[in-house]
Chain A
């Protein structure tokens, strides 16, 4: 699930891309976790996320849903809310982890990013990470895949619902001046139901790619 360990792209680009989950454990800390999850989400809002979704509302940061509605949607019990978010800045993620540590709410927190960077952050904040999930990459009939320059966009969606054709469509629109790289990136973030598509990184990649693309007639 959420696939965030498999994000593709250059190491330089991945330096500005961190995914954070708030993840209660069924049968272990579901009961009474609503105020704790809410507090952690409030902390996320204070640290400049570039995207976020709660599983109880499934509206991302660019959906114009007020923060209060997202906070009020947080539930517990059988359908405990989980929260997925994304950050682009090392200082923000460091402060976020400091605040999470201080809050000590007891809910599992996952961070996806470059291992070396997360190691540094954990040491600076004084955290002892528990488990690592390593990506051994793509296996199987890889000849059927879209090329890596498209996959660096599509793999930012954990469930794979940002389609390669949508990426190509927006490259074409940016190239022909029908939209901006930022608006295209917000549009590409929309299908991602887990809220971890990073539109800032997407904009950087569109700005890099569009000059080298040749656009044929639609």
Chain B
């Protein structure tokens, strides 16, 4: 995003809307720090500017800066998934797609959340740690997959490492017996990242919303706890295509 200096009246109303505090005063005008801006478009979308001084950056759709937009603006559709957002349909349509089967578990690492954002070098730290542990099951339809230059090492494409995004999700599906090694790897790499991430584990359910006991045991054994709230697929979907 940018603020057209000739139009800005310096009211500062846009500044608190920026999730990453990229907007500040320079003299009597508001300016956007282009290094910090994630291109999420929030300031423009809420229509807070009284003089329409906010505008998109001219390079916002140019690679690699475009990644900021695709990963940070909820209304932008990522060409890798065709979905508005950073990930895939994951557990949300599992009743229809069977993406994660009863003997498997899905694991999502929501890097940059909540709200903090991150440099893509944090993604690389995690993808390299997973690769070192022999975990190469990163979901192919996930946008992260197309950013990896070398699957054997988990190294990202060089030109991406200077970019920043509000969030990106590494999604993995593994047989249940591999959950402990994935969680242990994530626990170790968590000490190295500059930002934060939310960690999700999803699996199919037994009758009466019974969570698979071995999944819960693996989570506990890895030193994690689960929160009392969760996202639950109610089993009402079916395929017809």
A81-113 CB contacts (< 8 Å) to partner B: 97, 100-101, 104-113
Interface presence of B61 (CB below 8 A): no
A123 to B207, CA, bound (A): 10
Specify which of B19, B95, B186 is in contact with A131 (CB 8 Å cutoff): B95
Query: Closest residue to B125 on the A side, CB-wise?
Result: A140
- Assess whether A55 is interfacial by the CB under 8 Å rule: yes
List A contacts of B202 (CB < 8 A). 131-134
Q: How far is the CA of A1 from the CA of B82 in the complex (A)?
A: 14
B residues bordering A, Cβ < 8 Å? 15-21, 40, 42, 45-46, 74-75, 77, 82-87, 89-97, 100, 106, 108, 110, 112-117, 166-167, 169, 186-187, 190, 193-205, 207-209, 211, 219, 224-241
- B238, closest chain A residue (CB): A106
Provide the residues of chain A in CB contact with B230, threshold 8 Å: 5, 112-113, 115, 118, 132-135
Known: A14-B228, A108-B236, A127-B236. A25 touches B93 (CB 8 A): yes
Is there contact, CB below 8 Å, between A100 and B236? yes
A86 to chain B, nearest CB (A): 13
Q: Which residue from B204, B224, B241 sits with its C-beta under 8 Å from A29?
A: B241
**Cα distance A131–B96 when bound, in Å?**
11
19 contacts between A and B (CB under 8 A): A1-B85, A7-B229, A25-B89, A28-B237, A28-B239, A31-B241, A113-B229, A127-B236, A133-B230, A136-B225, A136-B227, A137-B198, A137-B224, A137-B227, A138-B197, A151-B115, A159-B74, A163-B21, A164-B115
Pick the residue among B112, B187, B201, B234 that contacts A134 (CB under 8 A): B201
* A50: interface (CB < 8 Å): no
User: Which residues of chain B come closer than 8 Å to A122, judged between CB atoms?
Assistant: 208-209, 232, 234
| A34-67 contacts to B (CB < 8 Å) | 55, 58
A-B pairs, top 9 by smallest CB distance, nearest first, are A108-B237, A25-B93, A130-B235, A160-B115, A193-B74, A133-B202, A130-B95, A136-B199, A5-B231
Query: Chain B: which residue is nearest A125 at the CB level?
Result: B234
Q: Is A116 an interface residue (CB 8 A)?
A: yes
Q: A29-B239, A135-B198 are in contact. Are A119 and B115 (CB under 8 A)?
A: no
Chain A positions within 8 Å of B42 at CB level? 161, 163, 191
A55 to B91, CA, bound (A): 19
Residue pair A101, B232 in contact (C-beta under 8 Å):
no
Residues of chain B with a CB closer than 8 A to A55's CB: 84
Interface residue range, chain A: 35 or more
A16 at interface, CB cutoff 8 A: no
- In the complex, the answer to whether A14 meets B238 with C-beta atoms within 8 Å is no
Contact in complex: A145, B114 (CB < 8 Å): yes
Are A114 and B228 CB-contacts (below 8 A) given A132-B233, A140-B190, A190-B46?
yes
Q: How far is the CA of A31 from the CA of B241 in the complex (A)?
A: 7
Question: Is there contact, CB below 8 Å, between A119 and B209?
Answer: yes
Complex CA distance for A132 and B105, rounded to whole angstroms: 10
- Known A26-B83, A114-B228, A135-B200; contact A161-B94, beta-carbon cutoff 8 A: no
A163-B19 Cα distance, complex, nearest whole Å: 4
Which of A7, A109, A140, A163 has most B Cβ within 10 Å?
Answer: A140
A115 cross-chain contacts in B, Cβ below 8 A: 209, 211, 228-230, 232
C-alpha gap A56/B15 in the complex (Å): 28
A-B contacts besides A6-B198, A108-B93, A108-B95, 14 pairs, CB < 8 Å = A25-B89, A25-B96, A104-B236, A105-B236, A118-B230, A119-B208, A123-B209, A129-B209, A140-B195, A140-B197, A160-B113, A162-B115, A163-B18, A163-B21
